[in-house]
Amino acid sequence: MLKINTVLSFILVLVFTTTGYGQSKSSSEHIPSIGGHIGVLSYMGDVKGSKGSTIYTYWKPAYGFYLEKKIGGIFGVSLNGMFGKISKSQLDETTFRNFETSIMNFDLNLLFDFDNGKLINKTSVFAPYFSVGFGYLAFDQRLYL
């Protein structure tokens, strides 16, 4: 419980610090975008789950971060990360299978922004972009717990 409170406190401080910093700078400067997210992960695959279970039965928490830096008015670079766990357990008359795994994901992307003043106006509410990059996904699978 202490770990969850510490993480949530850090996220709140980060959000309010980023917002305050972002509002005090001129809009013409390219400051980095910093973000965080929390959510849930669920497994859908060949391990079906116990009778009466749904995809919501085996939810596990996940959290992550997002960093983006604009380079000029057209290009940007972003780094994303996600951490969490997934698990599933199938128990019926003929089958006993279960697993749990920790997941770590990182990706680095090059962005091309269409709202650069040449294709779409910079003040447009609609801001599409194209992204290309590479990622790394690692997991530590533990079977039959």
Residues 36 and 58 reside in one and the same domain: yes
The parts of the chain modelled with pLDDT lower than 50 are 1, 19-23, 28
Q: What is the pLDDT of residue 39?
A: 92
Residues 11 and 49 reside in one and the same domain: no
Domain that holds residue 103: 32-143
Give the global pTM.
0.63
Residues 39 and 55 reside in one and the same domain: yes
What secondary structure does DSSP assign to the chain, as a single string?
A: -HHHHHHHHHHHHHHHHHHHHHHHS-TTS-PPEEEEEEEEE---SS---STT--TTTT-EEEEEEEEEEEETTTEEEEEEEEEEEEEEEEESSS-EEEEEEEEEEEEEEEEEES-SSSSS-TT-S---EEEEEEEEEEEEEEE--
Residues 56 and 39 reside in one and the same domain: yes
Residues 19 and 50 reside in one and the same domain: no
Q: What is the pLDDT of residue 59?
A: 83
Q: What is the pLDDT of residue 105?
A: 95
Residues 111 and 47 reside in one and the same domain: yes
Q: What is the pLDDT of residue 22?
A: 47
Residues 123 and 98 reside in one and the same domain: yes
Q: What is the pLDDT of residue 95?
A: 67
Residues 22 and 37 reside in one and the same domain: no
- Name the domain count of the chain: 2
Residues 17 and 73 reside in one and the same domain: no
Percentage of residues of the chain with pLDDT beyond 90: 27
Residues 16 and 38 reside in one and the same domain: no
Residues 78 and 126 reside in one and the same domain: yes
Residues 4 and 49 reside in one and the same domain: no
Q: What is the pLDDT of residue 12?
A: 57
